[in-house]
Amino acid sequence: MTAEGSVSSLCQREPVAGYAATIKAYDTLACVHCNVTILLLKVHAGAVRPTCCGRAMRTVRPAPCSTPPTRGIGAGTLAGRCYADESRGLVVRCTHSGRGIISYDTKPMTPLPD
């Protein structure tokens, strides 16, 4: 293998599992540090991945319908509640509560009224 071949192979990294380059409506994302899991309801083109606990959220399989819902565990993100960044058009529904706060582009997302 030539030097150019080894350099180009190093530059062509494959995406890390669970962190697809793009996100789309109805993807399920989970925090890597706490229990927060969300469902993306409305996503604009070119959206960046939301964060929780200061880290990008990871794409996961949706929980089966038989999984019991979680109840609020203090400050953080509550299951069943919708959160939005209305300036950018992102709307998510929390499907699993956790202590983390969902942020989008470094701004905490605001809970929508029930």
pLDDT value of residue 52: 93
Q: Are 28 and 60 in contact (CB under 8 A)?
A: yes
pLDDT value of residue 93: 94
pLDDT value of residue 47: 85
String of DSSP letters for the chain? --HHHHHHHHHSPPPPTT--S---TT-EEE-SSSS-EEEEEE--TTPPPPEETTEEPEEEPPPPTTSPPPPP-SSSB-TT-EEEETTTTEEEEEEE-BS--EEETTEEPEEPP-
Per run of 10 residues, the mean pLDDT along the chain (length 114 residues) is 41 48 88 91 89 92 70 72 91 90 91 88
What pTM was estimated for this model as a whole? 0.73
Domain residue spans of the chain: 16-111
CA-CA distances (angstroms) from residue 101 to 1, 7, 9, 34, 104? 48, 40, 38, 10, 10
pLDDT value of residue 3: 46
pLDDT value of residue 2: 47
pLDDT value of residue 75: 64
